[in-house]
Amino acid sequence: MSIRERIARRAEQEIKDGFYVNLGIGIPTLVANYLAKDKQVVLQSENGLLGIGPYPTEEELDPDLINAGKETITAAEGASYFHSAESFGMIRGGHIDLAILGGMEVSSCGDLANWMIPGKMVKGMGGAMDLVHGAKRTVVIMDHVNKNGQPKILRACSLPLTGQRVVNRMITDRAVIDVTPDGLLLVEVASGYTVEDIMQCTEAELAVAGDVVLEAY
């Protein structure tokens, strides 16, 4: 199993039966492939689709059916299509139970930076700024460190913010960390890592839960 798949599988556990969920661009889109069959879940896309299915096979590819990240997708039975304005009304109206988003940086108080790196071309800010304020809960899934080995969970974000104090939980390839009123709390450690490993690769101050789960995923 790849690192991305392992993160996506763990993130699926955040989705409860009956939830309306928005999956962000990147690793979050993989979560659709691992939805438990006993859960009734509706996936929403900002570009106007309610009822996203798993990634298409080669036979199922339809170039006209895409998500907000311009990736080809499938539509689940009973899916509906509508204007993006209605889709954002759904988000801003508080009708999304959970947003699972990617992240470039997260701060110790739950600030999120995930939409641009200054000086680099971006397609646009997308719907993340609305989602982090409109969704009832926001979970960020990402690698624990960047490609240079530097922490992505920081005391303060250095990149332009998507939202302030908006993240509830982070799921990385190494750990699950909650944002609490008292700071960051380590609640799960992935297989192959120790609590000490997580402390060393996290810049922000990190408390350890008394019931922290080791080798959780």
Domain ranges of the chain: 3-213
- Is 60 one of the annotated active-site residues of the chain? no
**Tens place of pLDDT per residue across the chain (217 aa):** 899 999 999 999 999 999 999 999 889 989 999 999 999 999 999 999 999 998 899 999 999 999 888 889 999 999 999 999 999 999 999 999 999 999 999 999 999 999 988 877 666 667 899 999 999 999 999 999 999 999 999 999 999 999 999 999 999 999 999 999 999 999 999 999 999 999 999 999 999 999 999 999 9
Number of neighbours of residue 207 by Cβ within 10 angstroms: 15
For the CA atoms of 194, 197, 202, 203, what is the dihedral angle to 10 degrees? 140
Give the model's pLDDT for residue 80. 96
Query: Which burial class, exposed, middle or buried, applies to 152 when counting CB atoms under 10 A from its CB (0-12, 13-18, 19+)?
Result: buried
* Number of C-beta neighbours around residue 93 at 10 A: 9
Identify the CA nearest to 128 among candidates 23, 50, 11, 20: 23
- Catalytic option among 46, 105, 188, 203: 46
Q: Say if CB 33 and CB 56 are below 8 A apart.
A: no
Segment 143-188, tens digit of pLDDT: 999 999 999 999 999 999 999 999 999 999 999 999 999 999 999 9
User: What CATH number labels 3-213?
Assistant: 3.40.1080.10
Q: Residue 216: which of 163, 179, 177, 166 has the closest Cα?
A: 177
pTM to 2 decimal places: 0.94
